[in-house]
Amino acid sequence: MMAHVRFPGSKFSMMKEGKLLGEIPTGKWTLIDDVSTTGKSLLEAISLIGTLPEKILVAVDRRPENKNPEVNPFFEI
């Protein structure tokens, strides 16, 4: 499971295997993921960072409902 984080100054961090690689974002930040099937990796990333992102973007949202967390998908299946 992997999620990417972008925050001011165009810095990127990555969550891999439950660990954050890079800096913990401060202020506004965006959570980016390729595919969301259950939303679990998104919630884990938010929990790891400790604050809610300004936006959550996913390429493909495969969850039955866009809830918990609500995301901005490019495609919904």
28: helix, strand or coil: coil
Supply the range of the domain harboring residue 58.
2-76
Q: Is the pLDDT of residue 2 over 60?
A: no
Q: Which two tokens stand for residue 60?
A: 């493909």
Domain count, the chain: 1
For the chain, the first-to-last Cα distance in angstroms comes to: 19
Checking 9-17 for CB contacts under 8 A at 24+ apart, the result is: 15/41, 15/44, 15/45, 15/48
pLDDT of residue 37: 92
Q: Which two tokens stand for residue 52?
A: 């809610």
The mean pLDDT value for 34-56 works out to: 89
Q: Is the pLDDT of residue 3 over 80?
A: no
The mean pLDDT value for 2-14 works out to: 64
The mean pLDDT value for 40-66 works out to: 90
